[in-house]
Structure 1
């Protein structure tokens, strides 16, 4: 029996998510570190995710943790809703708006939620993600989408 149920369930979730991602990317060409194929990034990340999951699972049997008091359904819904909001906004409103919305919606789930602080972090994350993913990596999403007339 695990000594820390939070680590156990988190590790199991990471293992399952990593294995699913690896399975989805299994047919993608791997390439090499110098000439990455479309499967390089998802496969490397999924293996890292599975490794973190395995470490967390092993740790759950070795380190005593706090008892699990309950499950925060409301907070979990905000997190799930933030992912849905990103999916709905990304193409129409653009990367910057979608990322900012993810941060704002998911921040509401925190006990330490503060509108000003969340807005600053959301704006910084939107700028960072737009520059890295759209400009740097060439992700085919607009920074500001057609819904905003851009």
Structure 2
């Protein structure tokens, strides 16, 4: 009976806990802003809603790692190089957005973060970058009309 009380899928359980912590942090942080109501949303409404949804997804994911039918998966260890590639790409995006514009900063973000994958190929990363840049332009520039420079400062 002891095996039924153990975590069968450590990866799902750990991911669920991370989602719960991140969602709770967003939801708690949103309480510092006016929430408003659904008809008249304040600046804290969206992060509160996303935080709550993330907590719910986290609970579902963590519970799925505890069920009897869950695939048995263990966490082998934390790969610091993967963490470095992902966090480094986000920092680079923030630093390069103004001088390179959205297109250049996204290209750097996607190519650098792609190096975190053990399945990395330049062709896959470039195809992914082309799709994600086109999608981002469609959503942020043409869809919601954000005022972000598209191109490097020397091209504008």
Normalising by the residue count of structure 2, what TM-score does the alignment of the two structures yield? 0.82
Paired residue secondary structure (2:11): helix
Q: Partner residue of 1:107?
A: 114
2:49 maps to which of 22, 40, 44? 44
Structure 2: tracts of 5 or more residues without a match: 1-5
Q: Partner residue of 1:74?
A: 81
| Whole-Å separation in 2 of the counterparts to 1:125 and 1:83 | 15
Q: How does 1:1-150 map to 2 (within 5 A)?
A: 1-33=6-38, 35-62=40-67, 63-146=70-153, 148-150=154-156
Q: Could you say which structure has the larger radius of gyration?
A: 2
| Whole-Å separation in 1 of the counterparts to 2:105 and 2:58 | 28
Q: Partner residue of 2:3?
A: none
| Whole-Å separation in 2 of the counterparts to 1:114 and 1:20 | 35
Normalising by the residue count of structure 1, what TM-score does the alignment of the two structures yield? 0.85
Structure 1: tracts of 5 or more residues without a match: none
